Structure 1
Amino acid sequence: MSDQMIPINTIDVQPEDVSPAPENEALDEERRRFLAKFSSAVFAGLMAPAIFSKDFPKSAEVPVPTETPQKFPTKPLRKPNTDYLDPEAGVIDRMLVDLRRALEKRERGEKVRFGMAVDLQKCTGCRACTVACKAENQTPPEVSYNVVLEQEVGQFPNVRRVFMYKPCFHCENPPCTPVCPVAATWKREEDGIVVIDYDKCIGCRYCLTACPYGARFIDLGKTYTDPLQPYEQMASPEYGENRVRATGSSPVGNARKCHFCLHRIYQGMLPACAETCIGRAIHFGDLDDPESLVSELIAKRPYIRLKEELGTEPNVYYLL
């Protein structure tokens, strides 16, 4: 998938069984129509067809790992210094407090479930999230871990544009992981993040085809500059590995995707996209923590999750 704006077509997306306030009903319905339009061009048009079911088969060749390899952090690398934060001080401060609580759970050996609640009323389409992600993870051309979709709604002259942020959905039942013939991608049990082992990945692209959200990319070795400028030769902090991207070595030739900035959150920092969002539309936290901001928003606001009929159980919620 390229970094360019993605056209939007049609698909059925069913909202959760919630009842918005009467004064917001028309606006919510318009957003639902937008979400119903955008998917097929992204998924059907750009990705090869794949057949999905609620019971995704496991790979017959190599079982999906049940334990996370030691190369990926399984506990906080350091305890974040957020004692000064007031949960009522602001959205970012509130999410940092929530993250601190989640990391404390991990230190006690308890599981968490990281996810997002994206407020469609606040997204301005500025694409600061996309730029921040590329700068943070040093991603090359045609690899964007998150994109912002847009659609014009209404009838002339009463028209406007609606925007939608789209990362990896870190599904509870990810169809991308069992199809990997070398078990190079899996869902971490301790925090629900779907990851890729660049040293195992063979670049077969099965996972790209299997993902119903078009959230995976292949690194074709392209660069923005020739000769390479210093910023393209910087090490990427992904997975805490600090790899320098070079022809003939990983991650060139590998599948790549959003990982919720795993290397940041275990240092007590929010994902780059959530921290940078100027409209504060992206909310990150532990979905299993009823006191977290993401859980609070999902409980109070009408929302949808994309392609739930496939049984993927995505951990990104869209607030209407």
Structure 2
Amino acid sequence: MAILKMDKIRILGLKNEKSNVLSFLQRKGIIELIDLKISDLKENDASDVQVSAEDIDLQENIQKMQNDQTSLISGIHILDEKFPGKTIEKKNFNLSLNEFLNIESREEEIIELVNNVLKMENNLSSLQSELTTLNKEQQILKNWLNVPLNPAKNTTERTKFFLGTLNKNDFLHLKETISAEENLIAIVPLNEDDDLIQIAVVGFKEDELEIDHLLKQNGFKYYPFAEAGKPRELYNNTKETINKKEVLIEETLNSLEKIADKRLDFYILYDYYNIMIEQSQALELTKSTMATFLVEGYLPQKISNNIKNELENEFTVFVE
């Protein structure tokens, strides 16, 4: 025995015509008729409305589309800002209805693409921030390239050295202070320029706090890096790190540029969501109104078009 092919039908109509519409549908052979109203509302009292699972799904679907729209707009702004030369010609927006509706079949692919744009933008921001910090460190390290000391190995069994800079006047004052107090502290000038002197200050470990206080009183600026290695070694290592990050930035920008060529899909999907959200919100509104009803069911496929036409001709209904 052949299986009868069925079409699903959904009908929105005026509540005062509901009984007549239902009688008509039953005569025409609709089966599994489902009333999609939220609940039987008391006259002029909407306080008894109980939210159904279907209504929750509808709200969640609307929220998801709105969230995806936010992502699409963010992706568009990122690509427009980074690649202003990659314009979209107006003729590309002249889509047929089928082309517009077919965007749904690529929805997941497009959302994945826009999420990749957002992730790459976050990675790019982090890389650029790290690069700025590293370049600042390089500028500082340049002044220490000729210092053959490793600040991470600044102690012996009994002594400790302090590496940093002073301006020349403070340097002279520090020397006079140490000489007058007869402290067992040695000052070793390393390099100097017009204003600053790089020095190493050597003293006993038990005097570390006293020496630190004395140095700070005289404007001593500590060498700013705690990593193991001489300044030139750190400089070369940082330079290598900078080169790697610059390559990553370039690769990320190249990937974003390729996606920029496809961002027309972002615009189309955004507009598609606008239509679907409006349709969903209209459905939600009609289901909660006192003046309308919404039902769905199944009927034989061979008569579905005829029944749709008859319904719309005889009653005030919308059929899909």
TM-score, with length taken from structure 2 = 0.17
Q: Bigger relative contact order, structure 1 or 2, given CA contacts below 8 A and separation 6+?
A: 2
Larger radius of gyration: 2
TM-score, with length taken from structure 1 = 0.17
